[in-house]
Amino acid sequence: MKIRHLLFVAMILASFVLIGCEATPVTTPTSQQEFTEAGWQAWAGMHYTNAHEMFGNAYKMDDTYADAYNGDAWTYFREEDLQAAFNKFMKAQYLDNTLMDSFAGNSAVLLYMGYFNDSALYGTYVSDNAGDNYTFQRDTKVTSFDVYMVLALDYFGLGNAASCCAQINNMRRVISEPTTFSSTDWNAIATEIDRLSGLDPS
């Protein structure tokens, strides 16, 4: 079960970490908002050194600007510097507990780090507050389906079959399938997660 779980973790990380978007040129930034937007543009274009510089400039101008820390966290996540990503996500969440993207990102980071309980707490926060309507503002390919997938993997790692099946059914609901999956057979659960991973609607 452990090997299969690690394969699932690698699979979901591809959704959160490797997706890139097309960058759009911006003018020279002069405010924390503009620096943050420039950082997201660099992030979208996978120019991570520049993204860190822009986000850093933003929170140097205003150390309470949560989205700058959030952007820096997502950049570290893309670079697979998980501890740095976690630290920046925590700062963003401290400043703004309505910033769902930081909670979703932190859930994925903690799954990658193997902290399944903590990951599930952050994923549940997104699920409870945004439900099926969650979409990452900076990359619409990351949605509630991905949040539910991370939660399913958390509960898979924790050996909690009932909660894992509940998240499987959440994913099924998103793609308009019957929400009737139930099993205590880990092979059957693993097979269903694997099947759903190929049906991500985004």
What fold characterizes domain 2-197?
1.25.40
Q: Taking Cα atoms as reference points, which of 69, 16, 72 lies closest to residue 43?
A: 72
Domain ranges within the chain, ordered by starting residue: 2-197
User: What is the CB-side half-sphere exposure of residue 20 using CA atoms within 13 A?
Assistant: 12
Summarize pLDDT for 140-174 with one digit per residue, the tens: 999 999 999 999 999 999 999 999 999 999 999 99
Summarize pLDDT for 33-56 with one digit per residue, the tens: 999 999 999 999 999 999 999 999
Strand partners, 135: 143
| Overall size of the chain counted in residues | 202
The residue type at 89? F
Summarize pLDDT for 52-98 with one digit per residue, the tens: 999 999 999 999 999 999 999 999 999 999 999 999 999 999 999 99
pLDDT at 1: 46
